[in-house]
Structure 1
């Protein structure tokens, strides 16, 4: 409904597991947009994903947050969901 399920900085006001759940939800939103664009989930293939994670300066588990989204894409799309991925930690988004 256009409402954010959560926001904040991982390691400050967002726990790692919550960040992982939000990453999965973001991936679902991306799949929904792709289906809207091409008409069918069978026509969707993920080639590359770039993930930005807002975290505290000492948070170093950006890849664990991104893994949640990557795992969901593989669960839903199978081999068409396997992709190259970069996870980048940022101070703010």
Structure 2
């Protein structure tokens, strides 16, 4: 079963479409314990990304208790921007990124049940920016907690085109 149809990405480069949305890719800070991406064969594995902007975690708490659905959706968009930044670091250019799979973790109450709606915000952004290269397989899962009490974390697998 498919969801609502999303408009195809406008013409121009993926970078142009990102800028038209008023967004830019963030600079990712390095971590002494893991890397933001690892390439194996033609696959690029992107480490889980939290909704950071300018070095600040944009939200904390549990969705369905402390964090509203709309806020969680916005946090998912920020987390996927960080994942895209890692992908660009791996392949060199946003127009060369193709998303294969996305895993969205949502720290939520046991009865929340709308993890897919949180994940949709990230999926929509990927398709808006990358067009067909942004369409992907996806899993959205509710968890009891995430690092730094973040409401959302996104992990991706991508490839270069």
Q: TM-score range by the shorter chain?
A: over 0.9
- Across the aligned residues of Structure 1 and Structure 2, the Cα RMSD in angstroms comes to 0.8
Q: Which one has a larger percent helix, Structure 1 or Structure 2? A: 1
Asked if residue 33 in structure 1 is aligned to residue 89 in structure 2, the reply is no
Corresponding pairs, count:
93
Q: Larger strand proportion, structure 1 or 2?
A: 2
Which residue in 2 is equivalent to 1:87?
Answer: 140
Runs of 4+ with deviation above 4 angstroms: none
1:19 aligns to what? 72
TM-score by length of 1: 0.96
Paired with 1:55 and 1:65, the residues of 2 have a C-alpha distance of 11
Distance 1:36 1:2 in 2: 18
Query: Mind listing any 5+ residue stretches in structure 1 that lack a counterpart?
Result: none
Distance 1:21 1:11 in 2: 15
Which blocks of at least 5 consecutive residues in structure 2 are unaligned?
A: 1-53, 147-161
Give the TM-score, by structure 2 length: 0.56
1:33, distance to aligned residue in structure 2 (A): 1.4
Of 11-20 and 30-39, deviating more is: 30-39
Larger radius of gyration: 2
Cα drift, residue 3 of structure 1: 1.1
Give, in whole Å, the separation in 1 of the partners of 2:96 and 2:113: 35
Could you report, residue by residue, the CA deviation over 1:49-84 in whole angstroms, capped at 9, with x for unpaired residues? 011100011100000000000010000000000001
Q: Deviation at 1:45?
A: 0.3
